[in-house]
Chain A
Amino acid sequence: MAEQHSRLQVFTSNWQAAALLLPTLALISVFLYYPFLETVQLSFYQLRVLGSGEWVGLQNYVQLFESGAYRNSLIVTILFTAATVTASLFLSLIISFLIHEANRFTDLYLVAAIWPYAMPLAVAGIVLDFLINPRIGVVTWAIEALTGFQFAWQTNGALALVAVIIAAVWQGLGYSIIFMTAAFNQVPDSITDAAKLDGIGRFQRLFRIYVPLISPVLVFLIVIQTIGAFFGGFALIDLMTSGGPSNATNVLMFNLYQDAFVNQRFGYASAQSVVLFGFVAVLMYVQLRVTDRYAYYGGA
C-alpha cells in the first residue's frame, strides 16, 4: 500500500496532529488494547474473584483442550457457522440475482429484502421463539398439519440447532444482499447481453458468469459472515435455547459468557477469549490476503 501524503499535506504542526489523534488513541488504549492484553494475562491465572488470583501457567488452556464440553461447543459453533454462512450466502445470491434480473420495482424489492439487516437479533430470536414454539407456535402447528412432522426443537438438540440457524439466516440475509447487489450492478451489461444471446439459462448465467465475476465480494462476505456467526449468535441462543437442550446449542460465545459471568471462572473464560482471538486473527488474515477490503462493519 503506497501512501501519497505529500500532495495532500495541508498542515505541518505535529502537536496539532497529536491533539486530533489523542481522543481515539486514548480510547483504544484504555478500552481495547488494555483489556485485550489483560485478557491474555488473566488466561494464565485462576481467579474466583475478579482482581486477585494465582498464576497457573497454561493450566486453563490444558483444561480447555481436554474439556469435552468445550470440544462440544467448538463443534456446535462450527456447525452453526458453516450452516448459517452457507445457507445465508446461497439464499442472498439467489435473491440478489432475482432483484438484478427484475425489470421493474428493483428499489422496492431491494428495501423489502434488506430490511432484516436492521432487525435486532434479539427480536428475530423472540419472534421465532413464539412462532415456532412446539406447543403453541402457529408455524410449528402448520408444519405438523401439512407434513405430520413434529418440529420439537425444544427437546431435540439437532432441531434446536436448526431453529437458531433459521433465525440467524433470516436476520443475516440483508447484509449480504446489500453487497451482492452492489457487485451485480458493476457487471457490465454487455456480458449479460452476450450470455443471453448465447442462450445460456439463467441459473447457468448466475453460477458460471456472475459468481466468478463477483468472487472477491463473495470471499469478503464469507469471512465477515463467518466472524459474525462465530461471535454473533449470542442473543439468539440466550433467548431461544439457553445453550440447550443438553448443550446442543451451547456455542463458544455462550459458553464463554456462562463461564465468566455465571460460573465466575474468569481465568478459564479469558483463555476462551484468547482462543476466539486466534479465530478472528486467522479469518481477518485470510481476508486481507484475498481482498483489500478490510473494514469490519459488524457488531461492536
Chain B
Amino acid sequence: MSIVPDTVNERLSTTTGDSQLATHGALWLIISVLILPIALAAVYSTQTTNAVYQITNVFPGSALVENYTTVLFEYNFGQYMWNSFVMATVVIVGKLVFSLLAATALVYYDFRFQSLIFYAILFTLLMPLPVRIVPLYQLMADIGWLNSFAGLTSPFIASATAVFLFRQQFRSIPASVVETAKLDGIGPIQFLANVLIPMSKGMIAGVTAIMFISTWNAYLWPLVAIIDRTNQVAQVGLRYIQGTGAEGFVQWNLVMAAGILVLIPPLIVLLVARRYLLSTLGGGE
C-alpha cells in the first residue's frame, strides 16, 4: 500500500507522460544535428573527387576502399596515426607511473615541505603550453630534441591533474586497509602495486582515457616541434592533406576520409571507457 494518495501519483505520472514524447523528440533532433556533420563526412569519404564537388550528391560513392587506402599509404596517415599512437602511449605511461609515485609520497609519507611541494606541482596548472612555448622550443632545439618523440612527449608527461586526482583517490582509501599493509611491513613500491593500484583501477582507467583523448588531440605542440613530415602526428597530418590542393582544388573526399580515421581512436576510447571517464570527470566529491 502506497502512502501517497492516488491523485498525487496520477498527477506525477501524467505530467511525466505528457512531456516524455517531447523530451525524446527533442533529444533525437539534437543528437541528429550533433552527429550529422560526421555522418556526412563519412558519406563524402566514400565518393570520388568528381562526385564530392557535386553539391547535392549526398549518397555513398564507390571509392571507399580506394580513398582510405590512398589516405593511409600515399598521404602517410598510417604513419601519422602510428606516431600519434606512440606519442599517446609514451605520455600516458609516463604520466601514470610518475603521478602514482608522486601521489604515494604525498599521501603516505610525512616530510617537511610536503604541502609546499604539492602546491608547487599544482601551480603548474597555470602554465599551459602557450605561456612557455617559445623557451620550450628553444630548449628542444638546444638539446637536439626537435623532430623527435622525446621532444614531442616530454613537455606533457608531468601532470598536475593526475597527481591531484591520484592524491584524492589515495586519501579516500580506508585507513584500515592501509593499517594492514603497514603491519605487513612491505615497501612503497609493493604497497603501490599490491594495495593502491588495485584499489584505484577505476580512477586509473578514467585518467588513462582522458589523457589519451587530450594527447591524441594535441595540435599546437606537434605543429611547432616536428618539422620532418615522417615524424608528424595525425592532427597536423590533417593540415597537410587539406593544404595539398591549395591551388584551388582540394580533394575533399580524401580530407574527409582522413578526418574520419583521426576521429576513430579517441571515439573508441570514449565508448569503451565511458563509465570510468564519467566517474573520473563528473563523479567524486
Contacts and interface: CB of A to CB of B under 8 A. Distances in A.
A276 B11 contact: no
A216 B3 CA distance: 35
Contacts of B219: 120-122, 234-235, 238
B171 A8 contact: yes
B205 interface: no
Interface in A225-240: 227, 231, 234-235, 238-239
B124 interface: yes
A36 interface: yes
B220 A235 contact: yes
Contact of B134 (A10, A39, A284): A39
Contact of A32 (B110, B158, B255, B266): B158
A168 interface: no
A178 B224 CA distance: 32
B134 A113 contact: no
Interface string B241-266: 01000000000100110110011001
Task: Tell me which of A7, A10, A39, A298 has the highest count of chain B C-beta atoms within 10 A of its own C-beta.
Answer: A10
A31 B91 CA distance: 14
A50 B134 CA distance: 9
User: Which secondary structure dominates where chain A touches chain B?
Assistant: helix
A231 to B, nearest CB: 5
Task: Tell me which of B53, B105, B141, B285 has the highest count of chain A C-beta atoms within 10 A of its own C-beta.
Answer: B105
A14 B37 contact: no
Interface in A1-55: 3, 5-14, 16-18, 20-21, 23-25, 27-28, 30-36, 38-39, 42, 50-51
Given A8-B175, A117-B213, A131 B134 contact: no
Interface string A89-130: 000000100110111110001111111111111110011111
B145 to A, nearest CB: 11
Contact of A280 (B34, B114, B126): B126
Contacts of B165: 295
A202 interface: yes
A300 to B, nearest CB: 4
A277 B97 CA distance: 29
Task: Give the bracket for the number of chain B residues in contact with chain A.
Answer: 35 or more
Contacts of B236: 122
A31 B107 contact: no
B29 to A, nearest CB: 10
B283 interface: yes
A210 interface: no
Interface stretch (A80-88, A149-157, A267-275): A267-275
Interface string A188-229: 000001001101001000000000000000000000000100
A257 interface: yes
B130 interface: yes
Interface in B72-109: 97-99, 101-102, 104-109
Contacts of A31: 136, 139, 154-155, 157-158
A65 interface: no
B15 interface: yes
A300 B154 contact: no
Contacts of A178: 277-278, 281-282
Given A7-B175, A31-B136, A239-B242, A121 B217 contact: yes
Contacts of B198: none
B193 interface: no
A9 B26 contact: no
Contact of B221 (A42, A119, A276, A300): A300
Nearest to A99: B27
A238 B19 contact: no
B111 A98 contact: no
A209 to B, nearest CB: 14
Nearest to B55: A141
Nearest to A260: B134
A170 B281 contact: no
Interface in B26-42: 26-27, 30-31, 34-35, 37-38, 40-41
A170 B274 contact: no
Contacts of B129: 231, 299-300
Contacts of B115: 3
Contacts of A21: 101-102, 105-106, 117
Interface in A120-171: 120-123, 126-131, 136-138, 141, 170
Given A235-B220, A284-B126, A294-B125, A118 B139 contact: no
A50 B137 contact: yes
B102 A20 contact: yes
Contacts of A119: 38, 263, 266-267
Contacts of B221: 300
9 contacts: A17-B111, A28-B120, A101-B19, A113-B30, A120-B263, A122-B217, A127-B37, A181-B282, A277-B131
Lowest 3 A-B CB distances belong to which pairs? A182-B282, A38-B135, A27-B158
